[in-house]
């Protein structure tokens, strides 16, 4: 009988120890970002714009590298369990977390860029312009005069950039459009504590995968984020325009729903817009003639990206165009831009209120 009692007691102790260990593992679990696949096969490439080796470099090698470095940078910090977009929000004002911001912002931008591309159509078609919706097509003609004019303006902005960054085609809440560059790790996707991307969900390469403390590092002590790297920045860093004070009433979809993580994030002087002034364009103004472009000082308070392009030398060099091949490489961008997604993004931010009888 005593042997039975000892065995039962030992079993209970073992089960208790196992449960306690499991609780410890759960308490110390953290989330890692692992790569999410694209909607198109990487091995097939994106035509002449990003052949298979170039697409793999951007979508796999570069994106995985950014996420791995982000994981290392936030290990043991408050950002360890947060999404990439939320990390951008929470680190933008922290000087000591500038590297985490840069990695997260670049991963967010690169994901958005690749998500709005698709393989070129089969001949005789040479692009996806037939997928432009009537509503968005009307908006292009009204605000940009023509699709040709839009492409010319966008391409000129790309060619005018002498450093790395992104060029964005954006709209405001009234449907007016503009072409805007950002430099370095600057982004238009997360501003004013909100995510301005029309596609909900995780970024390319992001999946919240739980791993335990014991699986991820042998040293139980948290690793502090590095304080080296660039100086403090914000989600709209790199822009050469002045900005108005923060307006917390800007209306757009909040990415994160936890108020405590957002309440004290931005300082009172943090900009909520990219340019001086927050007025909406007056369509009756003589300077706002159809197709004449937009006065940047009166562009809407909140901007929504519709598509962008990554302006990094490694992209066109890996694609086989050489160090001076940006212009030729850029021509092929229009063959793989997913105009159907762009049209969907526009109607998401600027709903079609036309009444059909």
Enumerate residue ranges in the chain where pLDDT < 50.
2, 4-30, 192-196, 200, 208, 210-293, 357
Q: Beta strands 190-191 and 165-172: pairing type?
A: unpaired
pLDDT tens per residue across span 225-266: 333 333 333 333 334 333 333 333 333 333 332 333 323 322
Note whether 271 and 245 are within 8 A (CB). yes
Residue 341 lies in a domain: yes
**Structural domain count, the chain:** 1
Q: What percent of the chain has pLDDT above 90?
A: 52
Residue 207 has a pLDDT of 57
Residue 226 lies in a domain: yes
Edge to edge, what strands does the sheet with 303-311 contain?
177-183, 165-172, 303-311
pLDDT tens per residue across span 139-194: 999 999 999 999 999 999 999 999 999 999 999 999 999 999 999 999 988 764 44
Note whether 276 and 243 are within 8 A (CB). yes
| Beta pairing partners, 211 | 30
Question: CA 119 → CA 48, 49, 317, distances in Å?
Answer: 10, 9, 20
Q: Give residue 339's Cα distance to chain centre.
A: 18
Residue 117 has a pLDDT of 98
DSSP secondary structure letters along 31-60: EEE-PPPPSS-GGG-BTTTB-HHHHHIIII
Cβ neighbours, 10 Å, residue 91: 31
Residue 199 lies in a domain: yes
Residue 5 lies in a domain: no
Residue 17 lies in a domain: no
Residue 296 lies in a domain: yes
Query: Can you give the CATH number for the domain in which 208 is found?
Result: 3.55.40.20
DSSP run (H or E) holding 348: helix 339-349
Note whether 179 and 159 are within 8 A (CB). no
Residue 37 lies in a domain: yes
* Residue in 115, 173, 199 with CA at minimum distance from that of residue 349: 173
- 144-151 long-range contacts, CB within 8 A, separation 24+: 144/177, 144/291, 144/293, 145/290, 145/291, 145/292, 146/291, 149/291, 150/177, 151/334
Domain that holds residue 128: 27-349
Q: Beta strands 30-33 and 165-172: pairing type?
A: unpaired
Residue 36 has a pLDDT of 76
DSSP run (H or E) holding 208: strand 208-211
Residue 1 lies in a domain: no
CA 318, CA 148: separation in Å to the nearest integer? 28
SS3 320: coil
Note whether 304 and 252 are within 8 A (CB). yes
Note whether 75 and 217 are within 8 A (CB). yes
Residues 304, 310, 315: CA angle, nearest 5 degrees: 165
Task: For residue 124, say if its preceding peptide bond is cis, omega within 30 degrees of 0.
Answer: yes
């Amino acid at each position: 009988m005593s042997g039975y009692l000892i065995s039962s007691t030992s079993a209970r102790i073992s089960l208790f120890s196992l449960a306690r260990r499991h609780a410890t593992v759960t308490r110390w679990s953290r989330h890692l970002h692992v790569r999410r696949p694209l909607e198109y096969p990487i091995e097939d490439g994106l035509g002449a714009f990003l052949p298979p080796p170039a697409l793999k470099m951007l979508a796999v090698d570069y994106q995985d590298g950014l996420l791995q470095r982000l994981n290392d940078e936030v290990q043991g910090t408050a950002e360890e369990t947060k999404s990439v977009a939320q990390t951008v929000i929470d680190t933008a004002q922290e000087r000591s977390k500038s590297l985490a911001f840069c990695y997260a912002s670049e991963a967010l931008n690169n994901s958005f860029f690749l998500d709005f591309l698709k393989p070129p159509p089969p001949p005789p078609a040479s692009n996806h312009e037939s997928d432009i919706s009537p509503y968005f097509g009307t908006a292009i003609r009204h605000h940009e005069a023509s699709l040709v004019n839009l492409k010319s303006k966008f391409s000129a902005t790309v060619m005018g950039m002498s450093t790395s960054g992104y060029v964005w085609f954006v709209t405001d809440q009234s449907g007016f459009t503009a072409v805007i560059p950002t430099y370095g790790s600057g982004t238009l996707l997360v501003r004013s504590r909100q995510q301005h991307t029309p596609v909900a969900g995780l970024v390319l390469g992001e999946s919240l995968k739980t791993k335990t403390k014991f699986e991820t590092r042998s040293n139980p002590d948290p690793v502090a984020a590095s304080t080296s790297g660039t100086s403090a920045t914000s989600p709209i860093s790199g822009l050469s325009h002045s900005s108005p004070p923060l307006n917390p009433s800007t209306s757009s979809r909040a990415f994160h729903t936890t108020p405590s993580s957002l309440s004290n994030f931005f300082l009172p002087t943090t900009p909520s817009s990219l340019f001086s002034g927050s007025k909406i364009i007056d369509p009756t103004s003589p300077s706002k003639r159809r197709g004449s472009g937009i006065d940047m000082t009166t562009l809407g308070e909140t901007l929504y990206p519709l598509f962008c392009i990554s302006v990094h030398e490694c992209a066109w060099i890996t694609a086989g165009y050489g160090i001076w091949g940006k212009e030729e490489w850029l021509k092929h961008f229009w063959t793989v831009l997913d105009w159907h997604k762009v049209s969907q993004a526009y109607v998401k931010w600027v709903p079609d209120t036309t009444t059909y009888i």
